[in-house]
Amino acid sequence: MNQTDMEQQLEQLGAFEISEEMLKLAQHNEKNNDVLDAGRGNPNWINTKARLAFARLIEFGVAESRRTILKGDLAGYTTLTDISTRYAEFLDAGDSTDNFLLEALEYVANRFNIDRDDFVKEMVDGVIGNNYPVPSRVLKHSEKILNAYLQETLYNGVNLAEQTQVFPTEGGSAAIVYIFNSLRVNHLLAPGDKIAVSTPIFTPYLQIPVLNEYEMVEVDLSSRAEDDWQIQPAELAKVTDPDIKALFLVNPSNPGAMALDERALAQIKQLVANNPDLIIITDDVYGTFVNDFQTVYSVVPNNTLLVYSYSKLFGATGWRVGMIAAHEDNVFDRLISQLPESQRAELDARYALNVFAPAEMKFIDRIVADSRAVGLYHTAGLSTPQQLMEVLFSLNFLLEADNGDYYVEASKAIVAKRYAALFENLGIPANLSPYNSKYYALIDVYQLAEQRYDKGFRAYLVDNFEQIDFLYQLSEKSGVVVMDGAGFGTPDGVIRVSEANLPDEAYSQVATAILELLADYNNQYIND
């Protein structure tokens, strides 16, 4: 197979699948360079405090279990009475990790009025994983902490914690899959329905709706490079179409990296005022990388499902720790109650296994049931160790928030430094908007070619090379892997560079490789 045929076949794959093939190619690059994978968004930093605390909780949990049964490696169960006293005696306040756990206990007891023994028991049983998740959706005390974290990081001063219910999931990816499935199962979205999708966007939001079990009609709300990838009023205005049932957003966007500004949030609020039945899903994984970030959920909470993941901020992609959040008074429950009688009867029969009054079952609990094919609802829910990891990440933030959010600010500084290095070495202006998370960068290769050479060279690239050729050559020649922006819904010629997963000094090398490849193309242009 020649290169052109291979490139044409690769273009049929999804953006992440293409990236995997480019990574294989880069392993044997012509310059024998170290591979620089600037494609994936996996951060190369981790939060240490929460992980060390997790380990200490396991130690205490094992010690507690040995109090009831001890036969070699076989230990017993934990007991509630005075467990917080034994916990305090086990921990050393002079140790930074232990002191964090002690401070967290006092914080939870004082802020949420939670009994200390009850909370320690939930944490200990959670980390050692000695029971099914009970309740199935989220551990009782953990939900209050997760809600406090969401409010402090995403709501920008709007108080919604006490009206919000959360469902911890296996990362943001599982949350997306579960939401699509339950929207379909509960007749809130059906084949042929129109959905508005803010593009460019994380690829599953483009790929899932067109699968044969969904067959939805996507209406693109396109952002453009000339607007710094910030969605414009004319695009959001498309949602005034009464046939559009839902609006899907990633905020800040992936790959555009831009958070919605006040104008866009106000326009979305007006859209809901004009159409109270509008369904909104907002995916806010990168929200913590923008100062004073505000989620759509805080603006139109009754119409919005919020997706969040701890993976990027806390360096926890392998932990698979995300969640779905919904307001207790929401459009999803209302629309289900207004379905035709035959569909309501069908759904009552579906969930009758789970609850006495299925018609009253909240949509978020239906998502939980659907995530385990209904019949396994009693064993549903994210594993308890994963839920407790979310709790510890959240407590790490909440306790640090009064002291300047050092960890969060350090994470922002990492991506900002790399972002600046990439653009400086490319010789093009960086987007300095306060709404720019800087977690990703979109580079228009055609525009860069015109800027460095001329319009003729740009036209030559457009006319003579497949969309994927630039990625292929960059991997094969220099060992640098970037992602195809078209898979996210960008125009042709745009590539995505992640500022998360390479050492700081690598971003100047990525820029150099891009410019060297452009120079090679330009030499071909001159000689043709």
Q: What is the pLDDT of residues 435-475, one digit of tens each?
A: 999 999 999 999 999 999 999 999 999 999 887 899 999 99
- 196 near 248, Cβ under 8 Å? yes
Backbone phi, then psi, for 331, in 5-degree steps?
-65, -30
- What does the block give as tokens for 236? 């959001």
Classify the phi-psi angles of 192: left when phi > 0, otherwise alpha if psi is within -120 to 50, otherwise beta.
left
For residue 358, whether the previous peptide bond is cis, meaning omega lies within 30 degrees of 0, is no
3-class secondary structure, 457: helix
- In the predicted model, what is the mean pLDDT of residues 17-30? 90
- In the predicted model, what is the mean pLDDT of residues 33-37? 95
Q: What is the pLDDT of residue 18?
A: 85
**Distance of alpha carbon 213 from alpha carbon 66, whole angstroms:** 50
**Distance of alpha carbon 254 from alpha carbon 510, whole angstroms:** 20
526 Cβ contact partners less than 8 Å away, ≥ 6 residues apart: none
Q: Strand 217-222 vs strand 164-170: parallel, antiparallel, or unpaired?
A: unpaired
- 34 near 493, Cβ under 8 Å? no
- 260 near 434, Cβ under 8 Å? no
On average, the pLDDT of the chain sits at 95
pLDDT at 7 over 60: no
456 to each of 67, 225, 473, 503, 521, how far by Cα in Å?
78, 21, 21, 36, 12
Long-range residue pairs from 409-418, CB within 8 A, at least 24 positions apart, any chain = 411/43, 411/45, 411/288, 411/289, 411/313, 412/289, 412/291, 412/438, 414/45, 414/499, 414/504, 415/289, 415/439, 415/499, 415/500, 417/504, 418/499, 418/502, 418/504, 418/507
**Distance of alpha carbon 198 from alpha carbon 220, whole angstroms:** 6
- In the predicted model, what is the mean pLDDT of residues 357-361? 97
pLDDT at 5 over 90: no
Please, is 349 exposed, middle or buried when counting C-beta atoms within 10 Å of its C-beta (0-12, 13-18, 19+)? Answer: exposed
Q: What is the pLDDT of residue 1?
A: 47
pLDDT tens sequence across 112-156: 999 999 999 999 999 999 999 999 999 999 999 999 999 999 999
pLDDT at 382 over 70: yes
- 222 near 489, Cβ under 8 Å? yes
Q: What is the pLDDT of residue 258?
A: 98
Confidence of residue 45 (pLDDT cuts 50, 70, 90): very high
- 391 near 143, Cβ under 8 Å? no
Query: Which residue(s) pair with 41 in the sheet?
Result: none
48 to each of 45, 62, 118, 268, 415, how far by Cα in Å?
9, 21, 26, 38, 18
pLDDT tens sequence across 464-517: 988 789 999 999 999 999 999 989 999 999 999 999 999 999 999 999 999 999
Backbone phi, then psi, for 166, in 5-degree steps?
-120, 150
- In the predicted model, what is the mean pLDDT of residues 176-195? 97
- In the predicted model, what is the mean pLDDT of residues 88-97? 97
3-class secondary structure, 69: coil
**Distance of alpha carbon 26 from alpha carbon 455, whole angstroms:** 30
**Distance of alpha carbon 266 from alpha carbon 247, whole angstroms:** 15
3-class secondary structure, 282: strand
How many of the other CB atoms lie within 10 Å of CB of 230?
19
In the block, residue with structure tokens 């999708």: 197
What is the percentage of the chain residues whose pLDDT exceeds 70?
97
521 to each of 165, 445, 483, 500, 516, how far by Cα in Å?
54, 12, 19, 28, 9
Amino acid at 509: Q
**CB-side exposure of 527: number of CA atoms within 13 Å?**
6
What is the percentage of the chain residues whose pLDDT exceeds 90?
92
pLDDT at 29 over 50: yes
